[in-house]
Amino acid sequence: MFGMVRPCSHRLGESLRNQWMAHLCGLCLALRGDHGQFARVATNYDGLLISVLTEAQSERVGAAGAWRRQAGPCPLRGMRGASVAQGEGARLAAAVSLVLASAKVRDHVDDRDGLFARRPVAAAARKVAAGWTRAGARTGSDVGFDTAVLVDAVERQAGVEALAGPGTSVLAVTEPTGTATAAAFAHTATLAGRPANAEPLAEVGRLFGRLAHLLDAVEDRDADAASGAWNPLTATGTSLAEARRLADDALHGIRLALRDVDFVDGRLAHLLLAHELGRSVDRAFGTGACATAHAHSGAASTPQQGDGSAPRAPDGPGGSGPYGSRHPYGGGDPYGGGDPYGGGGPGGPGGPGGPGGLGGDPFGKSPKPGKRGLLAGCAVAVGLCCTCKVCCAEEYEGAWSRKKREGCCRNCDGPDCCDCCDCCSCCDCGV
């Protein structure tokens, strides 16, 4: 699972949390239903926004049965059934997720990252990516969306990056991402039968794509510098302070554009795009955290924008953020480090994937000392998700890195522990 909009369940509340999970599971099952089990690795938090936006604009009268279906038990839900989203919104989200995931895979192959440096793995990955692109196009066509705009944006990205240099606006580098996201967001208005919403939603999508690309660059800045990989901020000479200014401008623009969208029930869409997106910006620049977490840890407050100090790089586990590659919608292996399902569990010493255990690279390469292999890490991640340790544990080991981490909600005592506004008018978006 990857993406930058990752809300804390305590901030959502029971009703919106159930809606959010319905869209997440609906996206996952739409990928499985149309493209097979393996396609589910393309599930991502940002892709479900398309399903959320489609439903938020749809009329409620007589349509409740068409939005949801009952799904069977799933390991990622602790073997519980659930009501999940279905329909054109979920299928559009699946199509977009597949095309973007295929782009991410090709990006890793081109950069020869990790296992992708091996020719047999790279050849297989290219074949999978090509299949996902074709599959996304088929599903997109079924719901009236031409994924060619996404493919064109991916193909143009390499050329844009090749031309970028010192003095080039970083916004020129983020333009293809914004164009692709704008098209996907705008099409939700068509699916919902509200063509007047297409223009403001296109603006929301354009700014969302820009913001995703910027935050990805911020998260990867130090790692790219260490490895010599291309980074838009470094290549264009854009400072972190300027990147933060552009990110804040994009966030403000999204909130303004949301005012012009005619929602039937926009509570979840508003919370994710107007509020959780702001927390993603703070998280990427290392300027925001749960107030209760600070109270428990006694940590000093982080310098905020405008206090004369430059924003610092994110200090998450391993220095990685919620999406760890150059591509704006992904981070390394979709179930890799930095993933919300990362954790410890059965991969300890002597266990699967631990020292002396059964883990290891399925492609024949031994994992680095102290780390788990790909398959063992996946098994551990599933186990931690099923037991809710990722959310509530005081401390757990990363599924792949084995680094110590804290449960994301371990200091939350209830829905008011974090600075949420429950979609009220306390922000400048006026909703």
Q: What is the mean pLDDT of each run of 10 residues along the chain (431 residues)?
A: 75 86 90 86 89 90 65 79 86 91 84 81 89 90 91 89 92 93 95 94 96 93 87 94 96 96 93 92 78 38 39 38 39 39 39 39 45 72 64 66 64 43 46 50
Report pLDDT for 386.
56
Report pLDDT for 390.
60
Residues paired with residue 2 on neighbouring β-strands, in sequence order: 44
**Could you give the CA distance from residue 231 to residue 118 in angstroms, rounded to a whole number?**
23
pTM value is 0.69
Report pLDDT for 227.
82
Report pLDDT for 308.
38
CA distances from 192 to 58, 177, 208 (A): 5, 24, 20
Residues paired with residue 68 on neighbouring β-strands, in sequence order: 85
Query: Which of 398, 374, 373 minimizes the C-alpha distance to 384?
Result: 398
* Residue 356: exposure state from Cβ atoms within 10 A (0-12, 13-18, ≥19): exposed
Residues paired with residue 69 on neighbouring β-strands, in sequence order: 84
SS3 404: strand
Query: Which of 2, 1, 11 minimizes the C-alpha distance to 416?
Result: 11
**Could you give the CA distance from residue 157 to residue 223 in angstroms, rounded to a whole number?**
21
Kindly give, in sequence order, each residue whose CB lies less than 8 Å from that of residue 297, ignoring residues fewer than 6 positions away: none
- DSSP notation for 70-124: EEEEEGGGTSEEEEEE-SHHHHHHHHHHHHHHHHHHHHHHHHT-GGGGSHHHHHH
Report pLDDT for 280.
92
Residues 240/218, Cβ–Cβ less than 8 Å: yes
